[in-house]
Amino acid sequence: MYNYEKELYNLMRTVSYKSGIVKEIYTTDLSITQKNKLLGNAPRMFLSIAKINTDESGELYQGSSKSINRNKSIIKAIGESLERFCSTSNKDLLFKSVNELSKENIDYIHPNDIIEYLDNQFDDKEFGYQKYFDNDKLYWEKAINLNNNTEILIPAQKIYMKYPNYNEKYLDQRVTTGLASGSTYEQAVLSALYENIERDNFMISWLFKLKGRKIEYELNDIYNHELKNLLSLIENRMQEALHIIDISLIDNIYTIVTILENKNDNGISVTVAAATDLNPEKAILKSLEELLCTSSYSYKVFENKFNNIYPNMCVDEISTLEDHMIYYFNPKNKKNIEFWLNNKKYINIKNLHNYSSLNNYENLKLCIKLLNKVNIDTYVCDITKEDVKMYGETVVKVINPGLVDLNTHKFTIKLGNKRIQKYLKQNTINLEPHPFP
């Protein structure tokens, strides 16, 4: 079993109201929120919130996390707060056009190779983003191509959540996908890489209704003690039906979707989560933890915001990931997920091979190699600020041009993406709102 105490001890060195980079951290025991109800009755969970307030502007950077393990919730909350803190920059960034970079023989990733919208998407008045032309000046940040260890420039708006970006076109949504922290460089990069793959496999599977394989299991066949205990708790405490589905689209890298389905006349209809790992049991565990966190939060929103009455949300009202979650509170929308729920293709957990090792460096090398096989490169920008680095933590932003990210709005599906175009040749696209929170 993983030793969270050691990692927590190292991270707690960052916490001090007077001198630490993390000023405050709170942990709350989330006992049963649905009193006298079986639905949404998730196992005992802990919510941790870490706050950083060291910016000259007084900007508050906050990270939060829920877990059935108290120490893990604190670790993830501190890590997320460090990610948010490092994802803002006051650096003097290079401000040039693609034409200027080409004339100076500077290597760069073309913005349109990352943005991947079709030309006609920009014609919609509600689209909100601008098309890039080669004479448009952008801010750029340095990154490393992990395939050949060479330096390359990437548009800063794909790296940072916030930076001084005067006189620059707004090309795409700012997202935290691929932003990760870790006690080592390899751990941070691997975590970010897993997230990029998770979002891609989820979106491709959703857009083209790829059913994947439902995973069957017996508790005695599971090696991971945390996973075994969590599944046992779910079986004994929760009334919802649990679906565990392998939707992996990259060989030897598992992406697992987990779904809680409510078959009763009250309560939230469906809750969905996903996670990726070389180890199938770890992928299932991470997905289940996210699922239970989402379920717990969903019932809080359902009760406090909607008074336990199903919202009648229209597709056009959806503009955030939380809206996607809320849309599937209502049972009438569950039909959109039936291609997963009613899937009859199964695989036993015993037949899922573990491709991971105990070494993050080796796991990272393998993931990069497997992505190369499907023509996906990996670029890393180390954005660790000095006052984070002094505590031995690393924060990175990983970019994988060609992988599909989540869309928050129906307009922001990357229809020019090559992977989407490949599947479009054989399938029609599913434009129903995805349920990812």
Instruction: Point out the least confidently predicted range of 157-161, 172-176, 341-345.
Output: 172-176
The answer on pLDDT for 23 being more than 50 is yes
Is 54 found in the same domain as 136? no
Tokens of 39: 């639905």
The answer on pLDDT for 41 being more than 80 is no
Is residue 228 included in any domain, yes or no?
yes
The answer on pLDDT for 145 being more than 50 is yes
pLDDT tens, position by position, 12-21: 988 888 778 8
Q: How much is the pTM? A: 0.94
* Span 221-250, average pLDDT: 93
| Number of CB atoms found within 10 A of residue 342's CB | 10
Please say which residue of 23, 57, 87 terminates a domain: 87
Is residue 25 included in any domain, yes or no?
yes
- Tell me, what's the pLDDT at 296? 84
- Tell me, what's the pLDDT at 414? 94
Is 81 found in the same domain as 209? no
Report the percent of the chain where pLDDT is more than 90.
Answer: 73
pLDDT tens, position by position, 310-337: 999 999 899 899 999 999 999 999 999 9
Is residue 431 included in any domain, yes or no?
no
- Tell me, what's the pLDDT at 165? 82
- Tell me, what's the pLDDT at 59? 63
Is 346 found in the same domain as 200? yes
* Span 219-248, average pLDDT: 93
pLDDT tens, position by position, 95-128: 999 999 999 999 999 999 999 999 999 998 888 8
* Span 351-368, average pLDDT: 97
Q: How many domains does the chain have?
A: 3
Gap between the Cα atoms of 293 and 76, Å rounded: 13
Is residue 436 included in any domain, yes or no?
no
Task: Give CA separation, 182 vs 78, 160, 305, 382, in Å.
Answer: 10, 18, 35, 12
- Tell me, what's the pLDDT at 33? 45
The answer on pLDDT for 32 being more than 60 is no
* Span 40-69, average pLDDT: 75
* Span 164-169, average pLDDT: 88
Is 206 found in the same domain as 174? no
Instruction: Point out the least confidently predicted range of 11-20, 158-167, 199-208, 344-353.
Output: 11-20
The answer on pLDDT for 380 being more than 50 is yes
The answer on pLDDT for 43 being more than 80 is no
Beta strands 346-348 and 213-216, pairing class: parallel
pLDDT bracket for residue 191 (50, 70, 90) = very high
pLDDT tens, position by position, 199-229: 999 999 999 999 999 999 999 999 999 999 9
Give which of 271, 377, 380, 414 is closest to 334, Cα–Cα: 271
Gap between the Cα atoms of 366 and 355, Å rounded: 9
The answer on pLDDT for 30 being more than 80 is no
The answer on pLDDT for 284 being more than 60 is yes
Task: Give CA separation, 249 vs 140, 142, 178, in Å.
Answer: 31, 30, 18
Is 224 found in the same domain as 123? no
Bridge partners of 384? none
Its domain, for residue 58, covers 4-87
The answer on pLDDT for 293 being more than 90 is no
Q: What CATH number is attached to the domain comprising 56?
A: 3.30.160.20
Gap between the Cα atoms of 13 and 10, Å rounded: 6
- Tell me, what's the pLDDT at 115? 92
Please say which residue of 68, 87, 106 terminates a domain: 87
Tokens of 318: 């959806």
Is residue 433 included in any domain, yes or no?
no
Q: What CATH number is attached to the domain comprising 227?
A: 3.30.160.660
Is residue 432 included in any domain, yes or no?
no
Please say which residue of 87, 118, 144 terminates a domain: 87
Is 65 found in the same domain as 15? yes
pLDDT bracket for residue 39 (50, 70, 90) = very low
Is 329 found in the same domain as 200? yes
- Tell me, what's the pLDDT at 166? 82
Is 115 found in the same domain as 140? yes
- Tell me, what's the pLDDT at 415? 94
- Tell me, what's the pLDDT at 42? 59
* Span 25-32, average pLDDT: 76
Is 345 found in the same domain as 239? yes
- Tell me, what's the pLDDT at 34? 43
The answer on pLDDT for 38 being more than 60 is no
Is 98 found in the same domain as 80? no
Is residue 17 included in any domain, yes or no?
yes
Is residue 327 included in any domain, yes or no?
yes
pLDDT bracket for residue 2 (50, 70, 90) = low
Q: Determine the distance from the C-alpha atom of residue 264 to the mean position of all C-alpha atoms in its chain, rounded to a whole number.
A: 30
Is 307 found in the same domain as 163? no
Is 256 found in the same domain as 137? no
